[in-house]
Structure 1
Amino acid sequence: MGGNSALRPFAPLVGVPDFKAYVEQYPGTDLTDDALYYLGRCYLQEKEYALASAQFDRLLRDFPTSPLQADALLELARCDDLQSHPAPLDQTETERALTRYNQFVEQYPSHARVGEAKARIQALRDRLAEKLLLSGRLYRKLSKYTASEFYLKRLLHEYPDSKWVAEATRLLREVAARRGRTESIEAEKKNPPARTGQEPKGKPDERLRGVQTSKSPG
């Protein structure tokens, strides 16, 4: 079961119909797990990701002692990875792929494809970090500084190895400076200083609006 020995009996089988027929006709043989794996790979090549995932899922569930367990888990992660979206969009598939890649690396640290999985882990972590960066940047432009800080600090805490750390750090400093200016004017509104004859130009409300509506850099 599994391994290169499976290539000989499956040599004449060249695509989805053949492997699908084998799985349906021989659901419990020593080569059924191999057939499921190759059927999943065929669906993957045809970009039928849901069908591919179903084959790898079945292999993992029904054949726990198969030597193809590791490869099936990696291919399942790839199915999610290939369905994932750029950072501005929903990241459900990205997170699911990341979970499965991490599971693969933890369970099979000596597997020949661990390097491939680790490379994808870093790429997906960078994408999730970018998602947080985009949120932080958006809230900064909207002058929602507390929300902006929340997302930027999450990025630094959860993805300290991300390529976006330097950008997040820079934005966080800008946001902190802007928050300080805004809070200073708010405090002045509540507790106006004694008149000195050298009052700053403009009422506090007007100056606050100026801070909040000024164009953000970047």
Structure 2
Amino acid sequence: MKGRIALILVVCAAWGCGGSLKEQRREGVANFDAAKASFDRGNYLDAIPDFKAFIEQFPGTDRTDDALYYLGESYIHEKDYALASAQFDRLLRDFPTSPFQADALFELARCDDLQSRPAPLDQTETERALTRYNQFADQYPSHARITEARARIQALRDRLAEKRLRTARLYFKLRQDAAAAIYLRRLLSDYPDSKWTAEASLLLAKVLARQGKKVEAVQTLKKLIASGPDGELRRKADEALRSLQASEAPR
């Protein structure tokens, strides 16, 4: 047993217990051109220590912002998004006139995006990525990556809308209709263009009907049907509307 533990400690020490073996073994050389050549070849673990050494030795040159940007990109390729974020954040903060400003802001948003979680989980990174993508879209509407940014904005908005819908479903299941209605109304107000709005409207109509607010439930269903939902949602909306209207008809 002791021999096995000793072997683990030796392996751990060799790997640095927190970084790759290759990066831990090699000292960086403060040579931007060599670092960039490694980057261009896709040798990111070679590029990283050299970019770091260059930034440390030359913190304020006209190539430091370049080094920060490519260091951040290298970390992205190695899936170390937290360290990548730190480089882009420093570039944005310390080099406000850098030609890499726009791309650094986009990549900072992308780092948050890549760390974001599915709708059932915490959405802190999603919200931060959305804020930064929106900032990018506002500041650089003609940038080459604006289409990609807008697509990610829509995808992240859909995820936040889904989060609210899931919460509303839970409250509905627990028969906490007031809370369910709050989440559904907020979803419809904040994310009217989301792919989840039709389903949210249908659930809101069910909540309202169960609360005895049948007139408002009917109005909600009619508005939903007028919006042209497809397939199963349309069938369910029609069925719910017929049921409500039948219950209101004089006997």
TM over 0.5: yes
Q: Could you tell me which residue of structure 1 aligns to residue 86 of structure 2?
A: 54
- CA contact 2:35–2:48 (8 Å) conserved in 1: no
Q: Could you tell me which residue of structure 1 aligns to residue 174 of structure 2?
A: 142
- 1:172-212 Cα shifts (integer Å, max 9, x gaps): 0011111118xxxxxxxxxxxxxxxxxxxxxxxxxxxxxxx
Partner Cα distance (1:109, 1:47) in 2: 28
- Taking the TM superposition and a 5 Å limit, the aligned residue runs for 1:144-159 are 144-159=176-191
- 1:47-78 Cα shifts (integer Å, max 9, x gaps): 11111011001100110000000000000001
Structure 1: runs of 5+ lacking an equivalent: 1-6, 182-218
Q: Could you tell me which residue of structure 2 aligns to residue 203 of structure 1?
A: none
- Taking the TM superposition and a 5 Å limit, the aligned residue runs for 1:1-218 are 11-14=36-39, 15-180=47-212
- List structure 1 runs of 4+ shifted beyond 3 angstroms: 7-11
Displacement of 1:13 after TM fit? 3.8
- CA contact 1:94–1:124 (8 Å) conserved in 2: yes
Q: Matched residue pairs, number? A: 175
- CA contact 1:13–1:19 (8 Å) conserved in 2: no
One-letter code aligned to 2:85:
S
Partner Cα distance (2:33, 2:55) in 1: 17
Partner Cα distance (1:38, 1:13) in 2: 11
Partner Cα distance (2:60, 2:196) in 1: 49
- CA contact 1:60–1:69 (8 Å) conserved in 2: yes
Q: Could you tell me which residue of structure 1 aligns to residue 245 of structure 2?
A: none
- Provide the secondary structure at the position in 2 that maps to 1:180: coil
One-letter code aligned to 1:84:
S
- 1:10-32 Cα shifts (integer Å, max 9, x gaps): 54343211211111111111110
- Provide the secondary structure at the position in 1 that maps to 2:144: coil
**Structure 1 or 2: more helix by fraction:** 2
Q: Could you tell me which residue of structure 2 aligns to residue 200 of structure 1?
A: none
Query: Comparing both chains, which one has the higher relative contact order based on Cα–Cα distances under 8 Å and sequence gaps of 6 or more?
Result: 1
